[in-house]
């Protein structure tokens, strides 16, 4: 029996939204494994908009849900409509949108808060004991979602790992091709583009994460 997986996106584009390669790899692997997927995103303005060609900030306002719909080919819902009971697992790809739109980690660091609708959705999966996968920078939200003592990885970036530790997480260093699992909490994390030098390297860890999340959903 195929599993239903919710994927929360944070916009469209590495510098101000969801990392497109990570998102597509996640969706591709879920489809290859026969999972039924529904994408979600918060219906809120982006922190800012970045010109991905020049790297400059643009004088423009964009909506996280509208931008995320680009990756989901329009098949996306407001995260307020994410009903945990309808799904077996949850995955959040990375990209700066996680730190800028799903939370304010980019500006507040260890003192950050998670966007309320996203936090409520994530906590519902945790409370139900359903598996969660956090990719790239998304584990920055782990301590806010799971509480102190949660085990996770963002790879080996010392400054980011320090912020996670300040928030109460237990950070484990990890190679790009590997995953870190908190067995007690059914949380799976992988560094992806925190370390990846190519799309193939990013995929090596993401595929393992998706496979493990689906295994946990079957248990």
pLDDT tens by residue, 120-166 = 999 999 999 999 999 999 999 999 999 999 999 999 999 999 999 99
Give residue 219's pLDDT band: very low, low, confident or very high (50, 70, 90). confident
The position carrying tokens 């800012």 is 48
Question: Would you state the pLDDT for residue 129?
Answer: 97
DSSP string, 30-79: HHHTT-EEEEEE--SB-S-EE-TTT--EES---BHHHHHHHHTTT-EEEG
Tokens of 55: 């790297």
pLDDT averaged over the chain? 97
pLDDT tens by residue, 195-208 = 999 999 999 999 99
Q: Is 136 a catalytic residue?
A: yes
57 bridge partner residues: 50
pLDDT tens by residue, 27-42 = 999 999 999 999 999 9
- How is the chain split into domains, by residue range? 4-218
Classified as helix, coil or strand, 13 is coil
Q: Span 4-218: which CATH code?
A: 3.40.50.880
Question: Would you state the pLDDT for residue 205?
Answer: 98
Q: Which of 112, 136, 152, 174 is catalytic?
A: 136
Please list, in sequence order, all residues whose beta carbon lies within 8 angstroms of the beta carbon of residue 35, skipping any fewer than 6 positions away. Answer: 2, 3, 4, 5, 214
C-beta separation of 92 from 98 below 8 A: yes
């Amino acid at each position: 029996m195929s599993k239903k997986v919710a994927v929360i996106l944070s916009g469209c584009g590495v510098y101000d939204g969801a990392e497109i390669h990570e998102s597509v790899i996640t969706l591709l692997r879920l489809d290859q494994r026969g999972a039924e997927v529904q994408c979600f995103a918060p219906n809120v303005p982006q922190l800012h908009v970045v010109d991905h060609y020049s790297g400059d900030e643009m004088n423009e306002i964009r909506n996280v849900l509208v931008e995320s719909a680009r990756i989901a080919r329009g098949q996306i819902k407001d995260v307020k409509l994410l009903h945990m009971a309808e799904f077996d697992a949850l995955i959040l790809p990375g990209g700066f949108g996680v730190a800028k739109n799903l939370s304010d980690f980019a500006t507040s660091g260890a003192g950050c808060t998670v966007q309320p609708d996203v936090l409520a959705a994530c906590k519902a999966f945790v409370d139900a004991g359903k598996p969660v996968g956090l990719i790239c920078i998304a584990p920055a939200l782990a301590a806010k979602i799971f509480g102190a003592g949660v085990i996770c990885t963002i790879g080996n970036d010392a400054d980011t790992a320090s912020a996670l530790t300040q928030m109460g997480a237990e950070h484990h260093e990890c190679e790009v091709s590997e995953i870190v699992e908190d067995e007690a909490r059914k949380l799976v994390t992988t560094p992806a583009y925190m370390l990846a030098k190519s799309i193939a390297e990013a995929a090596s860890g993401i595929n393992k994460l998706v496979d493990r999340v689906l295994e946990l959903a079957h248990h």
